[in-house]
Structures are given as C-alpha cells and as structure tokens.
Amino acid sequence: MTGGPIDLREPHGHTNAQDTPKEIKEDERLPADLAQHSVLAAQSGITRQQLINRDMEIKCFVIPCPICGDKISGFHYGIFSCESCKGFFKRTVQNKKHYVCMRGSSCPVTITTRKKCPACRFDRCLRKGMKLEAIREDRTRGGRSTYQCAPYTLPPSLVSPSSSGISLDQGRISDGASVKSEPQEGEDVKPSSSKDKPAIPILLQQIHDVEHLWHCSEAEISQIRQADAMAREMMESESGDCLSMCKIAEGRLYKIVKWCKSLPLFRHISVSN
DNA sequence: GCCTCAGGGCCAGTG
DNA sequence: CACTGGCCCTGAGGC
Ligand SMILES: [Zn+2]
Ligand SMILES: [Zn+2]
C-alpha cells in the first residue's frame, strides 16, 4: 500500500483462527463487522463499500503503527504496520537474525528509538502479532497469503468498554464482531476464541449514533417528494416555486452539516483541510 | 480481463 | 559493511 486507503476487513485469503482452515467467502467473514456495515448502510442510504472505505480512511488517519508509532502503510505479516517495521521483520526473519537486547528486553520502541535495539523491536513485532509463517521460505512474490491471522486490531481508545461492564445498545449493532482491542503493553496476541465477548469499536458506534441527524421525518420526505415534483415541473415548463425549493435544500444542507460536525474526529480536521 | 494488495526485491542513505 | 526504509515489482484471488 502506498498512500491509498487501508482495508479493515480480514485480508483476502486469510482465514480466521479455526481448527480447519478453509476458504471463507467475504460475506461469511467477520459476520458482525459486516452486519454493522449493513445496519449503517441500510439506515443511511449509502453502500456498505462506502462505509468500509470510510473505515479505511479513519484507520489510516488516526491509528499509528502498533510497533513503533509510525504511519501505517498497510497490512503486513498479520497486522497493520508501517513500511519500516514491515521491512525490518522481513529482513530479520529471512536472514535468520538473532538479536540480543543488552538492556533487559525493555527498550522503548518508537519512531526515534526503533533503530537502537533490534532485539526489542523484533520482540515487539511478534508480541503485536506479526506472523513468522507470513515470511515465505521460497521467497515467491505476489498472490495472497493463507496463514491464519488475528482479527484486525484497534487501539484500546477506539474500542468500547462493552466487554468490561458498560453495555451498548445491543440490537442496533449485532454481536459477534471479530474486532479486538490492540494488545496492551506486554499482552500477547492469541488466536481469537469464539467464546470471547465481542467489542464494538467506539468510533463505529459514535458514527452510528449520529446517523439519525441526517435522516428525514415523514414530513420532510413528503417535502422532498414535493420538491422533486416541482423540479420536474420547472424543467418542463421553466416555471415553479424556486424559493420553496431553496428552502428545502437549505434545510437538507443544514442537517448534513450538523451531521458532519457531530462525526467523531471531524472537529479535529482544520478548517483549511 | 482488470484491480487489489500483501508478499519480495532493490538500492540510496546512514552510522 | 551492516542495516534501514522507501519505492517498486509480482501474482493469486476477487470482482
Ligand atoms: Zn512501525
Ligand atoms: Zn532492547
């Protein structure tokens, strides 16, 4: 990935952690994740693909590399990571490097310090979920990998605390999401278990919670129908109530702007942008 | 048949 | 000279 959006879905060809790996069609993967998109799409009138694309942009915009904090460049070896960590992991595994930490395996790994201790950096790559088996021994290029990979991860700040006590409005967003919080410091990535309580990303929930702001009431729908009829009339006879149409359009614009301003993260975008 | 994207390779830069 | 990291090529699978 070089600057483009990032796919939040389970990568193509990757299977969920199961005893018998098998090819999984898109609609069979991440059932709840897709269900969320379907619910949102149904209510907002936009396609599921548009929602997925929106997720990608959000992730690219707000989520740093879990290993060093640099900008994520894509999904590499089982996790979302930056280009440099991808290259580092590849070289380390391919060249069978065995780094040893001289400071007790507790060195910080950041953009500025990641070069200082390759041992701790490699350890962090593994702990955050990079897969050794994703490095191809035969070094063939292209295609899709078939190793089992973890569900996509989000940082704890973007994951709701639903599994730790605070309940969400169940029923609006269905359960079974294969979305987990990014592993905490020192927490190992383990294969997902079907018994795990699903956690809904706060970001998704927040976006979903403001969808109603641009929905139409029955009265508004009839107004829009009226405006539509007016527009047809205007096109046919070059006459009509232009002022009423402008008022309806103004009302819609107001709602859309209100909705935009209610979106999480939107207020962080500078006016110039 | 075209597109996507996660693999690998290359190479200029750095210490 | 080893290592880094950005960029490009490749090709299986999806649409
Ligand atoms: Zn990184
Ligand atoms: Zn170290």
Q: State which H helix or E strand residue A75 sits in.
A: strand A74-76
What pLDDT sits at residue A268?
A: 62
Distance A117 CA to ligand 2 centre (A): 5
Strand B nucleotides, any atom under 7 Å from protein beta carbons: they are 4-10
What dihedral angle (degrees, nearest 10) is formed by the CA atoms of A65, A68, A70, A76? -40
What pLDDT sits at residue A132?
A: 95
- Which of the nucleotides lies closest to A118 (Cα–C1')? C3
What is the CATH topology of the domain spanning A54-151? Erythroid Transcription Factor GATA-1; Chain A (3.30.50)
In sign, the C-alpha dihedral spanning A116, A119, A120, A123 is positive
- Which of the nucleotides lies closest to A143 (Cα–C1')? C12
Mean pLDDT for each consecutive 10-residue tract of chain A (273 residues)?
38 36 32 36 40 50 86 95 97 95 94 96 96 93 76 46 36 39 49 46 68 70 73 64 67 70 64 56
Distance A157 CA to C14 C1' (A): 33
What pLDDT sits at residue A221?
A: 72
Distance A178 CA to ligand 1 centre (A): 23
Distance A251 CA to B12 C1' (A): 56
Measured in degrees and rounded to the nearest 5, phi and psi for residue A179 equal -120, 125
Q: Which ligand is nearest to the CA of A107?
A: 2
What pLDDT sits at residue A42?
A: 39
Q: Give the residue ranges of DSSP H helices in chain A.
A: 31-44, 48-62, 83-94, 118-127, 202-209, 218-237, 242-262
The structural domains of chain A, with segments of one domain joined by +, span: 54-151
Measured in degrees and rounded to the nearest 5, phi and psi for residue A264 equal -60, 145
